[in-house]
């Protein structure tokens, strides 16, 4: 039931995110056209990026829910990571283009329309408060249903609101100081942040696709396995991230006098305890070997595999 609730939360957040981001983009676009501010223009594009990336994540979430099959025995959970990688490339590319656009406007001498800045600044501030509302909503769903996607998106909404606050401050600063270069500086700052954000997304999603071991969970799995009566030792613990869930693999050492049936039963017990204590882990694969063979230097890869 928790998995279904998590998926429901992510899809609701995604749909709401798309709709609100489009509204925010429209407001900011109108302000950017009226003021000719490159900082507002870049901020409007950021909202449009939010809408498009939410759409990609939403689409990938449907693919990630496909059940395991013969070609994909671990399921399709990594579709979310694949979608995130694509998003990272798009975000970084658009961020770089924003920086280029800011430089081009500076070189061409395009400056904001001074008389429009003061009356339209409150509209930009309104979009910042809307994004704060999105942050609270996404954070609530993430905490309530244990969704990493919602929590990640919540951070994105908060960053957007903060950047819009900086844009509003620049609009007032330009109006009162007549220093137009502030507009370019803020635009380049936002573009740089977006490039870094895209690179960060690519780095995190690539580590999942490249089978990075989730070490904090691996340590917890080892601790749990060692606490099971009958387990003499635990070796080579690996936990793999599959987007919505984790898969654990570990080698356990058992008494040399234990029968194959007893060892099989013990491995099954270890797997059940791990999945019960860490619900995020949906599959556990164990290998077991007699104690003496390990002491004699036998490679644990030669141990007998057990899969629940």
Please state, in angstroms and rounded to a whole number, the distance separating the CA atoms of residues 247 and 251: 14
How many whole angstroms from its chain centre is CA 75?
19
Whether pLDDT at 284 is above 50: yes
Q: Would you state the pLDDT for residue 101? A: 83
Strands 304-307 and 281-290: antiparallel
In the chain, the N- to C-terminal Cα span, in Å, equals 21
Whether pLDDT at 190 is above 50: yes
Locus of tokens 């104690």: 291
Q: Which of 37-51, 113-127, 142-156, 167-181 has the lowest mean pLDDT?
A: 142-156
Going from the N-terminus, what domains does the chain have, and what CATH number goes with each? 2-209 (1.20.1510.10), 215-307 (3.30.70.1350)
Q: Would you state the pLDDT for residue 27? A: 94
Please state, in angstroms and rounded to a whole number, the distance separating the CA atoms of residues 189 and 185: 6
Show the tokens assigned to 162: 């903060």
pLDDT, one tens digit per residue, over 132-176 is 999 999 889 888 887 777 777 787 788 888 889 989 999 999 999
Under a CB-based contact definition with an 8 Å cutoff, are residues 153 and 138 in contact?
Answer: yes
Whether pLDDT at 26 is above 90: yes
What does the DSSP 8-state code read for residue 113? -
């Amino acid at each position: 039931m928790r998995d279904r609730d998590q998926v429901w939360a992510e899809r609701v957040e995604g749909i709401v995110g798309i709709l609100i981001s489009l509204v925010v983009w429209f407001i900011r676009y109108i302000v950017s056209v009226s003021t000719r501010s490159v900082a507002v223009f870049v901020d409007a594009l950021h909202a449009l990026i939010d809408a498009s990336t939410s759409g990609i994540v939403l689409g990938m979430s449907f693919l990630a829910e496909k059940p395991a099959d013969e070609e994909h025995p671990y399921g399709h959970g990594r579709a979310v990571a694949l979608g995130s990688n694509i998003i990272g490339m798009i975000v970084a590319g658009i961020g770089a283009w924003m920086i280029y656009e800011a430089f081009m406007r500076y070189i061409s001498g395009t400056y904001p329309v001074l008389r429009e800045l003061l009356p339209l600044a409150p509209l930009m501030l309104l979009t910042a408060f809307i994004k704060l509302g999105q942050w609270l909503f996404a954070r609530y769903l993430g905490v309530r249903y244990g969704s990493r996607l919602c929590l990640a998106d919540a951070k994105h909404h908060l960053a957007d609101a903060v950047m819009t606050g900086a844009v509003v401050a620049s609009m007032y600063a330009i109006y009162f100081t007549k220093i137009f270069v502030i507009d370019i500086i803020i635009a380049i700052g936002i573009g740089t942040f977006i490039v870094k954000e895209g690179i960060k997304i690519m780095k995190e999603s690539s580590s999942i696709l490249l089978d990075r071991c989730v070490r904090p969970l691996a340590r917890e799995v080892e601790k749990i396995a060692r606490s099971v009566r009958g387990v003499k030792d635990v070796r080579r613990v690996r936990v793999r991230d599959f987007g919505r869930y984790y898969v654990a693999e570990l080698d356990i050492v058992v008494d040399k006098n234990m029968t194959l049936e007893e060892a099989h039963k013990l491995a099954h017990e270890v797997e059940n305890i791990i999945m019960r204590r860490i619900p995020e882990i949906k599959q556990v694969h164990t290998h077991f070997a007699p104690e003496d063979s390990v002491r004699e230097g036998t490679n644990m890869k030669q141990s007998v595999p057990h899969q629940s």
